[in-house]
Amino acid sequence: MAFEIRKNGKHTLVKVNADRLDTNNAPDLKSELLIVNSDGEKNIVLDLSEVTYCDSSGLRAVLVANRLCEDAIGTFILCGLQPDVENLIKISMLHTVLLITDTVEEAKELLEKKENL
């Protein structure tokens, strides 16, 4: 399976287990994210630590996840960006609208802090 989905308390971790997030698997990721959201999850952490290449369809999947969480009044966090993917995010100016952490652990800490506000 190209994606690993784990419910962790007050959030769901979605990890992409592929080196590419492109037209071949981005639609499947979007579908998985829609299912997670429709099951009532409003906080999603998307781990791209294994992804070394991402195209525009991959970015669209990321933006869908962000919108789903915002619409549910939740939080979307992107983590584990590899250098080429991070550059694409910055070139696209998405780093100004997305919450991004280096690791899954940092994402969990951020969610805990947000919950305690």
pTM (2 d.p.): 0.95
Is residue 70 pLDDT above 80, yes or no?
A: yes
Domain hosting 24: range is 3-115
The domain tally of the chain equals 1
CATH at 31: 3.30.750.24
Beta strands in the chain (DSSP E): 3-8, 11-16, 20-21, 44-47, 53-54, 76-79, 99-101
Average pLDDT, the chain: 95
- pLDDT tier at 9 (50, 70, 90 boundaries)? confident
21-67 tens-digit pLDDT: 999 999 999 999 999 999 999 999 999 999 999 999 999 999 999 99
Bridge partners (DSSP) listed for residue 115 = none
